[in-house]
C-alpha cells in the first residue's frame, strides 16, 4: 500500500532561529484576557462575575454542548470584567478578564488521579473534558469528543509530531525537554484505546527521535513506536499523516475514525498526561516567537490569555518595519491586527515579518501553469476552484470539492501568479455555509408561517 502522500512542497524550514533554544517560562502578566471560545464548537458560558476571586485552574467558563470545552483561570486573582474583548480570530468575543494577584493560588479542584493505570477510555475522556483539553495543533477540536468517538473503532493511535510548518519549533522543544510528558500521555492513550501508538515525526528532528526512543525504552513502553518520515509539507496534516503511517486514505467528508485512526498533537498528548498526573487543566501553551520582525526569537511557555503584546515584549518587541504578524505558521497561520488579542490554547507560534519579505502583488493573475494541481495533497484543482470562487459560482465551487480543501497553503506557496488561492477558498466556503444557513432559516420561517 502506498504510504507517501501525493503532492506537497518543500518550503525553507526557517527553524534555525529557535530550534536550539530551550523553552523559557514567561511570567504571567498583570491581567489575562481569557476568551470563552478557545475551541471549535459552542462557546462557553462564563460562570464567574466581576469581583469574584478565582484560583489557578478554577473553571471560569462552562461548556455549553457536547462539542464544547470548558475554560479555566490561568492565574489566580480577581475578575475585573466579563465582556467582549478582541479575539485572535479578528472579532470581539466574550471574555473573562482576571487581575493577576501573582500568587498562583491553586484551585482545590486541581488534584491528580489516584490510579491512572486502571483508567478506562471513558474515564480518560471525562478527565480530558473537565481539563478543557482541545487539539493544540491548531484544530482546537475538543479532545474528549475525539476519544469517545474513537473508542471501539480505532485500531491505530497516532501522535502527530511532524511540525511541518516552517518557523515553528514548539513541539520540537517539548519532545526534547519534556519527553516524559509526551510518552506518559501516549501510554495513557494506548491504555484507553487498547492499541499501539505511533509517533509520526519528520527526519529533520532526529535529535527528538533519539530522545523519544530513549524515553520509550526507559518506560518499557513496547506499545509505542516512533515512525520517522521524510520532511515534506504538509506531512503534519491529519489525513496525510494517517496515509504516511498506515497507508489508509481518509475519503472526502469522512473522519480519521472512519478508517480506524485517531490523531493527537504533541502538546495535546502532554496536556493529557498533566491533567491525569497533576489535575492541571489546559492553562498554558508553548509558543515559538520568531520571524524577521522579532528582535529576539524564543520558545516561551505562556499562560492562556496573555496579550500578544506581552509575548512580543518578552522577545525584545517587534522591529519598526514589521508589516505582518501571524498567529501560527506562514502556510496556515492567521494575520493578527490587534496585539491586545490573547494567546489561545492552540497558539503554537507568533511570527512577525519585516523589511522586504512582503511578496504580495497588486494584481495577482493565473497564468494557467497548473503547478497548483501538482502540489495539492487532496487531489483538488485549485485553479478551477479559484475561477469559481472569484466569480461567486458557489454551486460549482462546492461541486469542485472545495470542502475537501485542508487549507494547507501548498497551492498558494507554489503559485507564480501570486493568486490568493487559500484566502479565496476560505471565503468561498464561508459564503456557501452562509447560503446554507440562510436557506435553512427561510425554510423554517416558511414552515412556521404555514403552521399558523
Ligand atoms: S499555480 Fe497559480 S498561476 Fe499556476 S495554474 Fe495555479 S492558480 Fe494559476
Ligand atoms: S487546494 Fe487546499 S488542500 Fe489543495 S493545496 Fe490548496 S490549500 Fe492545500
What digits encode the pLDDT tens for the residues 57-110? 999 999 998 889 999 999 999 999 999 999 999 999 999 999 999 999 999 999
Element (H, E) at 176: helix 170-177
Between the CA of 370 and the centroid of ligand 1 the distance, in Å, is 5
Range 197-203 average pLDDT: 97
* Ligand 1 in reach of 380 Cβ (< 6 A): no
**The pLDDT of residue 253:** 86
Q: Ligand 1: which residue has its CA nearest to atom 2?
A: 415
* Ligand 1 in reach of 416 Cβ (< 6 A): yes
Using DSSP, state whether 332 is helix, strand or coil: coil
Q: What are phi and psi of 397, to 5 degrees?
A: -65, -45
Q: Which three cell numbers stand for residue 114?
A: 489516584
Q: Which three cell numbers stand for residue 154?
A: 480505532
Question: What is the distance between the alpha carbons of residues 73 and 84, in angstroms, rounded to a whole number?
Answer: 17
- Is the pLDDT assigned to residue 2 strictly greater than 60? no
The vertex-346 CA angle with 307 and 57, nearest 5°, equals 70
**The pLDDT of residue 1:** 44
* Ligand 1 in reach of 389 Cβ (< 6 A): no
Using DSSP, state whether 199 is helix, strand or coil: strand
Q: Ligand 2: which residue has its CA nearest to atom 8?
A: 408
- Is the pLDDT assigned to residue 133 strictly greater than 90? yes
* Ligand 2 in reach of 400 Cβ (< 6 A): no
Name the DSSP class of 139.
T
Task: Tell how far CA 52 is from the center of its chain.
Answer: 31
Between the CA of 178 and the centroid of ligand 1 the distance, in Å, is 43
**Mean model confidence pLDDT for the chain:** 95
Question: What is the distance between the alpha carbons of residues 121 and 257, in angstroms, rounded to a whole number?
Answer: 15
* Ligand 1 in reach of 368 Cβ (< 6 A): yes
**The pLDDT of residue 336:** 96
Between the CA of 141 and the centroid of ligand 1 the distance, in Å, is 32
- Closest ligand 2 atom to residue 234 Cα is 8
Question: What is the distance between the alpha carbons of residues 75 and 55, in angstroms, rounded to a whole number?
Answer: 7
List the end-to-end C-alpha distance of the chain, in Å, as a whole number: 59
Question: What is the distance between the alpha carbons of residues 10 and 232, in angstroms, rounded to a whole number?
Answer: 6
Between the CA of 51 and the centroid of ligand 2 the distance, in Å, is 48
Task: Find the radius of gyration of the CA atoms of the chain.
Answer: 22
Q: Tell me the best of 243, 409, 429 to mutate to test the pocket of ligand 2, counting ligand atoms within 8 Å of each CB and taking the most.
A: 409
Between the CA of 346 and the centroid of ligand 2 the distance, in Å, is 22
Q: Give the position of cell 471560545.
A: 37
Range 214-231 average pLDDT: 96
Between the CA of 419 and the centroid of ligand 1 the distance, in Å, is 7
- Could you tell me what percent of the chain has a pLDDT over 90? 92
Contact yes or no for 170/349 (Cβ under 8 A): yes
Range 362-370 average pLDDT: 92
Contact yes or no for 395/387 (Cβ under 8 A): no
CA dist 349 → 56, 109, 138, 143 (Å): 24, 30, 10, 21
- Closest ligand 2 atom to residue 372 Cα is 5
Between the CA of 106 and the centroid of ligand 1 the distance, in Å, is 54
The bound ligand whose nearest atom lies closest to the alpha carbon of 237 is: 2
Q: Which three cell numbers stand for residue 10?
A: 518543500
Report residue 207's pLDDT band, with 50, 70 and 90 as the boundaries. very high
Task: Tell how far CA 310 is from the center of its chain.
Answer: 21
* Ligand 1 in reach of 422 Cβ (< 6 A): no
Range 419-433 average pLDDT: 95
Q: Tell me the best of 370, 375, 384, 413 to mutate to test the pocket of ligand 1, counting ligand atoms within 8 Å of each CB and taking the most.
A: 370
Contacts of 183 (CB under 8 A, 6+ apart): 212, 215, 216, 219, 221, 224
**The pLDDT of residue 442:** 92
The bound ligand whose nearest atom lies closest to the alpha carbon of 410 is: 2
Which strands form 261-265's sheet, in the order they lie side by side?
Answer: 224-229, 197-202, 156-160, 261-265
* Ligand 2 in reach of 266 Cβ (< 6 A): no
Q: Which three cell numbers stand for residue 259?
A: 478508517
What would the pLDDT profile of 265-279 be if each residue is shown by its tens digit? 999 999 999 999 999
Q: Which three cell numbers stand for residue 272?
A: 493529557
**Residue 132: left (phi > 0), alpha (psi -120 to 50), or beta?**
left
Alpha helices (H) along 255-340: 266-277, 308-313
- Is the pLDDT assigned to residue 358 strictly greater than 70? no
**The pLDDT of residue 3:** 66
Name the DSSP class of 107.
P
Contacts of 366 (CB under 8 A, 6+ apart): 383, 386, 387, 415, 417, 419
**The pLDDT of residue 451:** 83
CA dist 23 → 170, 177, 283, 367 (Å): 8, 8, 16, 45
* Ligand 2 in reach of 411 Cβ (< 6 A): yes
Question: What is the distance between the alpha carbons of residues 345 and 365, in angstroms, rounded to a whole number?
Answer: 37
Amino acid at each position: 500500500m502506498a504510504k507517501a502522500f501525493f503532492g506537497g512542497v518543500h518550503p525553507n524550514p526557517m527553524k534555525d532561529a529557535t530550534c536550539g533554544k530551550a523553552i523559557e517560562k514567561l511570567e504571567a502578566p498583570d491581567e489575562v484576557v481569557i476568551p470563552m471560545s478557545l475551541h471549535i464548537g459552542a462557546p462557553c458560558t462564563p460562570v464567574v462575575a466581576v469581583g469574584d476571586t478565582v484560583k489557578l485552574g478554577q473553571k471560569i467558563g462552562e461548556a455549553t454542548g457536547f462539542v464544547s470545552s470548558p475554560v479555566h483561570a490561568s492565574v489566580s486573582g480577581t475578575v475585573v470584567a466579563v465582556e467582549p474583548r478582541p479575539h485572535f480570530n479578528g472579532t470581539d468575543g466574550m471574555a473573562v478578564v482576571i487581575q493577576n494577584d501573582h500568587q498562583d493560588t491553586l484551585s482545590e479542584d486541581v488534584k491528580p488521579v489516584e490510579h491512572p493505570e486502571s483508567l478506562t477510555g471513558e474515564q480518560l475522556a471525562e478527565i480530558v473534558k473537565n481539563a478543557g483539553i482541545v487539539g493544540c495543533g491548531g484544530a482546537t477540536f475538543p479532545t474528549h469528543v475525539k476519544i469517545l468517538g474513537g473508542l471501539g473503532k480505532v485500531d491505530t493511535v497516532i501522535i502527530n509530531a511532524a511540525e511541518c510548518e516552517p518557523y515553528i519549533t514548539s513541539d520540537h522543544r517539548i519532545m526534547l525537554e519534556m519527553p516524559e510528558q509526551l510518552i506518559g500521555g501516549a501510554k495513557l492513550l494506548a491504555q484507553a484505546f487498547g492499541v499501539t501508538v505511533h509517533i509520526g515525526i519528520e527526519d529533520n528532528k532526529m535529535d527528538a527521535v533519539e530522545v523519544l526512543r530513549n524515553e520509550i525504552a526507559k518506560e518499557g513502553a513496547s506499545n509505542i513506536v516512533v515512525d520517522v518520515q521524510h520532511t515534506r509539507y504538509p506531512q503534519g496534516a491529519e489525513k496525510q499523516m494517517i496515509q504516511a503511517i498506515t497507508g489508509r486514505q481518509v475519503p472526502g467528508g469522512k473522519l480519521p475514525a472512519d478508517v480506524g485512526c485517531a490523531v493527537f498533537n504533541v502538546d495535546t498528548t502532554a496536556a493529557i498526561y498533566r491533567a491525569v498526573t497533576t489535575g492541571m487543566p489546559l492553562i498554558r501553551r508553548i509558543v515559538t516567537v520568531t520571524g524577521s520582525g522579532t528582535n529576539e526569537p524564543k520558545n516561551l511557555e505562556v499562560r492562556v490569555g496573555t496579550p500578544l503584546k506581552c509575548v512580543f515584549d518578552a522577545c525584545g518587541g517587534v522591529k519598526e518595519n514589521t508589516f505582518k504578524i501571524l498567529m501560527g505558521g506562514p502556510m496556515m497561520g492567521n494575520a493578527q491586527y490587534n496585539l491586545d488579542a490573547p494567546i489561545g490554547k492552540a497558539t503554537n507560534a507568533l511570527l512577525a515579518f519585516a523589511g522586504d519579505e512582503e511578496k504580495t502583488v497588486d494584481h495577482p493573475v493565473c497564468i494557467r501553469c497548473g503547478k497548483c494541481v501538482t502540489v495539492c495533497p487532496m487531489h483538488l484543482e485549485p485553479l478551477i476552484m479559484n475561477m469559481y470562487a472569484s466569480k461567486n459560482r458557489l454551486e460549482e465551487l462546492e461541486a469542485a470539492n472545495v470542502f475537501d480543501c485542508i487549507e494547507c497553503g501548498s497551492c498558494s506557496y507554489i503559485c507564480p501568479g501570486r493568486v490568493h488561492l487559500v484566502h479565496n477558498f476560505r471565503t468561498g466556503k464561508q459564503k456557501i455555509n452562509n447560503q446554507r444557513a440562510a436557506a435553512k432559516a427561510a425554510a423554517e420561517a416558511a414552515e412556521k408561517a404555514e403552521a399558523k
